[in-house]
Structures are given as C-alpha cells and as structure tokens.
Amino acid sequence: AQSVTQPDIHITVSEGASLELRCNYSYGATPYLFWYVQSPGQGLQLLLKYFSGDTLVQGIKGFEAEFKRSQSSFNLRKPSVHWSDAAEYFCAVGGTSYGKLTFGQGTILTVHP
Amino acid sequence: DGGITQSPKYLFRKEGQNVTLSCEQNLNHDAMYWYRQDPGQGLRLIYYSQIVNDFQKGDIAEGYSVSREKKESFPLTVTSAQKNPTAFYLCGTKTQGADNSPLHFGNGTRLTVT
C-alpha cells in the first residue's frame, strides 16, 4: 500500500528565510510524486511533480523539490519565503494504478513579517 | 476557459437528508475523482471514474454514491448513511487514470450537516 508522511503539522518562518517541508513516502515501485499548495477555502494547486530523470525538480513560485530514493523522501524547498507563501502544503504519491494519489496530512506554513 | 466547477461552494443540510454535490469539467479529461478533506487528515479518496458509465470505490466510499453518465460530469451524493458528512469535498480530474499526469482540482464544496 502506498502512504505519505509529512512529519511537520505546522511550520513558522520569517519572511525572507529559507524553507524546507519534509515528505516521506512508501510505494512499491517507482513513484510519481507531487507537491500541492492550498489557500484557505480553495482547491489544491500543483507546485511541481517528479516522474523520472533529474532528481531535483523546479516548480512554480520559486519552489523546488529533491527526490531521494535511498531515503524515500521528496522534500520541498524555497530559498526565500514571501508572506504570500503562507498556506497549507500537501505531498502526494501515486502510480499508474488508476491514477490514485495518496496524500500526506499536510503542513501549514505561517510566515512572520 | 477550461476548468473544473464545483457547486455550490457552501451547502447546509439537516441530518438524515441526502445531498448531491456537483462537479463539472470542460478539460476533456477522462478520469474524475472525489476526495474528502478533514483538518489534519489530508485528502482521502471517496470514488473515482476512469471512463463514462464506470466508477470504482476509493478508500472511504461508505455512505456515498456517484454516477458518471457524461464525460463532463461526476456528481457525488452524500447519503444519510454517512455517519460524519460535514467536511470539505474536492473534485479532481486528470487526462487519463493510468498515466503520470497530475490531478487538477476544483475549488471545493464545504458541506455542513446539523
């Protein structure tokens, strides 16, 4: 069975500081990995995705993520956080089995001015 | 503009009543999904459909039903058998079920049952 763990429920950073959100997954084959962002009361927006190839993937809004197979991790990073990045972030894992995505519990990001 | 429309945005019902949430898409995607979101639990899959007139149960299908009579539409009915229906419901679509394309989401419907 596939699963995703986001160890941090809530993270607070200062504006301009760097950010790393952790994601660990369990999947029997080569996973497809995604990061989504959700503003309050809204749907989810795709930040970036990993399928194969270069393990460092670039996304929208200046985010990047690195796939580390040996650690079963797909952590999301941003060098300098902006106040508008405050939101909830979800990591998801899937494969070719009917496109089912399994989501982590989410990490709420608060940005202090 | 192509997109996924969920309506209504807010829905209130009395306990014991069935309620249907709408999801319409004009992205020409084959696969459609319903997820339920509760605080601290992420998203959990209720039902999904890869093609018209076919759908499968997800992880938490009890108390829910769906239909897929048209490619564009995948309504979700929350029945009175669902023990804890108050939640945020998200509809998603992707080009095909068994490929690596990402899920796209609507803006959700918040259902409150009292």
Query: B20-42: per-residue pLDDT in tens?
Result: 999 999 999 999 999 999 988 89
What is the C-alpha separation between B29 and B57, in angstroms, rounded? 19
Residue B110 pLDDT exceeds 90: yes
Here the tokens at position B25 are 């898409």
Instruction: Write out pLDDT tens, residues B47-101.
Output: 999 999 999 999 999 999 999 999 999 999 999 999 999 999 999 999 876 677 8
What is the C-alpha separation between A111 and B112, in angstroms, rounded? 30
| pLDDT (0 to 100) of residue A97 | 62
Q: Which residues, given as ranges, of chain A have pLDDT below 70?
A: 95-99
| pLDDT (0 to 100) of residue B41 | 86
Q: What is the sign, positive or negative, of the torsion defined by CA atoms of A107, B97, B30, B94?
A: positive
- B-side interface with A, Cβ within 8 Å? 4, 6, 31, 33, 35, 40-45, 48, 50, 56, 58, 90, 94, 96-108, 110
Here the tokens at position B66 are 């769906």
| pLDDT (0 to 100) of residue B99 | 72
In chain B, the percentage of residues whose pLDDT exceeds 90 is 86
What is the C-alpha separation between B60 and B46, in angstroms, rounded? 5
Evaluate whether B92 touches B29 at the Cβ level (below 8 Å): no
| pLDDT (0 to 100) of residue B34 | 97
User: For tokens 């079920």, what's the residue?
Assistant: B97
Evaluate whether A84 touches A91 at the Cβ level (below 8 Å): no
Mean pLDDT of all residues in chain B? 93
CA distance B31 to chain A (A): 8
What is the C-alpha separation between A79 and B58, in angstroms, rounded? 37
